[in-house]
Structure 1
């Protein structure tokens, strides 16, 4: 089943995995997506494969590489930023840098049976709302979407053992760094530049990030740049030189060496591999 509503510039819809709509999956690329997948489903998100042994939620921003196995079961919610923007409403849901724009890891939230039941209730209510002919539909759909995001953020924090004030402060700092990298990775490539934005020394930033992580700030910055390069190689016809320039590298030879050292494949070979797979 596929349902779609447009309120002026605001767009929101859902579709069921395995339906014919998924034959045109690229049509969803421009939307923010929340994928609710049942156990046994398979997915590839930003070139990482998932074989789900339990129900899960994926939070996917426009431009992320996604592929769902045709046998997957669940529901895909999709909407544009005019309908709901997590950056603007960050104080309400506090998920930016966690569920969306997370430069540390792909945002996936695994659900316990109790959490699955709660999400099923919300998704069922959301689908029922599409059948209503009422002027309040838009706001009710937004409320239900926010409920999913808030509950998923709470589950993520529980799963990452955010239980003390000290850990909460560290999560908030990591979230802030994640947001800064997401906003500036095409212009700022060094730890020192981000340390300046945070009014601290590079050494202090490195110590703060590695306190609860095995990844250094430099690795995080480079990983985000390479991830965007992968997306552009797969989703666009831009040349390698154009992609390098778009990511802030005037020297295409340096960019190619960086990409190859990080992925063990040249940009052209990486593009060819995924174009053949799609």
Structure 2
């Protein structure tokens, strides 16, 4: 079931099985995707990392993730674009910028607790009923239900991952979001400190108190993630990739990549093509 609005708003809710799983591969600009697995023994690959998902697992993906389908028994898809619901604009209310979607280096996922499953089921049914409505309040109602769904997910994710109070993480969340937006242009901590009107020292000190990673590590991880994705999933040359992710010359990019990955970009691509890179 798909909703499209007058201003390019897009919402897609669909039950996905093996026969129609090609839907998950569709490229929707500026979209975010929620995968709620409603059966056991599903297997997907995200950015060349294999995920085995059982019933009640929820995974959050952005348009930047590269998804491969290995085996789908049943999963509930909820996909929406920025025009329908902008995560950044609703950050203070929903609290998912830098948490559910825009983490710098890992795919957020959690298991729905049995006692919460009924809430998710009811919300999904309300979505389906509202998608059948055709009055001038439909968009507003659908936005409200999506917001409720995201709030429910955020609460559970916070609890399961033992994430501190959001107010304590404002700086980290903002940093992660800025890295997601600008990692191809800005590679230095000082660049992000300027964007946030902070000093590099202030950012480093704050991260040391609440995170096991430094801000410099997060920047490097995001650049490396994109480098791996581009090497695996595109035919761009090493030179083209160098400029695509913001390096001035191949030598600098190759040195950066080898320092982080242990092999050169060309060696990494060759091994990935041959199927010798194993991710766990």
TM-score by length of 2: 0.85
Deviates more, 1:4-13 or 1:191-200: 191-200
Q: Residue deviations 1:34-76, cap 9 Å, x none?
A: 1112343333223333223552222211121122432342201
Instruction: Find the residue that maps to 1:69 and give its secondary structure.
Output: strand
Q: Residue deviations 1:54-101, cap 9 Å, x none?
A: 522222111211224323422011122111111222233121111121
Deviation at 1:33, TM superposition (A): 0.8
For residues 26 and 273 of structure 1, the distance between their equivalents in structure 2, rounded to whole angstroms, comes to: 24
Instruction: Find the residue that maps to 1:13 and give its secondary structure.
Output: strand
Flag the 1:250–1:213 CA change in 2: closer, same or farther, 3 A.
same
TM-score by length of 1: 0.85
For residues 72 and 179 of structure 2, the distance between their equivalents in structure 1, rounded to whole angstroms, comes to: 36
**Pairing 1:60–2:61 present:** yes
Corresponding position of 1:94: 95
Corresponding position of 1:224: 222
Corresponding position of 2:201: 203
Corresponding position of 1:251: 249
Asked whether the equivalents of residues 28 and 78 of structure 1 are also in contact (C-alpha less than 8 Å), the reply is no
Asked whether the equivalents of residues 12 and 78 of structure 1 are also in contact (C-alpha less than 8 Å), the reply is yes
For residues 196 and 4 of structure 1, the distance between their equivalents in structure 2, rounded to whole angstroms, comes to: 41
Flag the 1:59–1:137 CA change in 2: closer, same or farther, 3 A.
same
Deviation at 1:130, TM superposition (A): 2.5
For residues 35 and 256 of structure 2, the distance between their equivalents in structure 1, rounded to whole angstroms, comes to: 32
Corresponding position of 2:117: 116
Flag the 1:265–1:169 CA change in 2: closer, same or farther, 3 A.
same
Deviation at 1:215, TM superposition (A): 1.4
Deviation at 1:148, TM superposition (A): 1.1
**Pairing 1:12–2:11 present:** yes
Q: Which runs of 5+ in 1 are unaligned?
A: none
Q: Residue deviations 1:131-167, cap 9 Å, x none?
A: 334333222222221111111112222223346xxx5
Flag the 1:117–1:184 CA change in 2: closer, same or farther, 3 A.
same
For residues 98 and 104 of structure 2, the distance between their equivalents in structure 1, rounded to whole angstroms, comes to: 7
**Pairing 1:170–2:152 present:** no
Deviation at 1:220, TM superposition (A): 0.5
Flag the 1:21–1:53 CA change in 2: closer, same or farther, 3 A.
closer
Corresponding position of 1:21: 20
For residues 262 and 73 of structure 2, the distance between their equivalents in structure 1, rounded to whole angstroms, comes to: 31
Corresponding position of 2:278: none
Instruction: Give aligned pairs, total.
Output: 272
For residues 57 and 123 of structure 1, the distance between their equivalents in structure 2, rounded to whole angstroms, comes to: 14
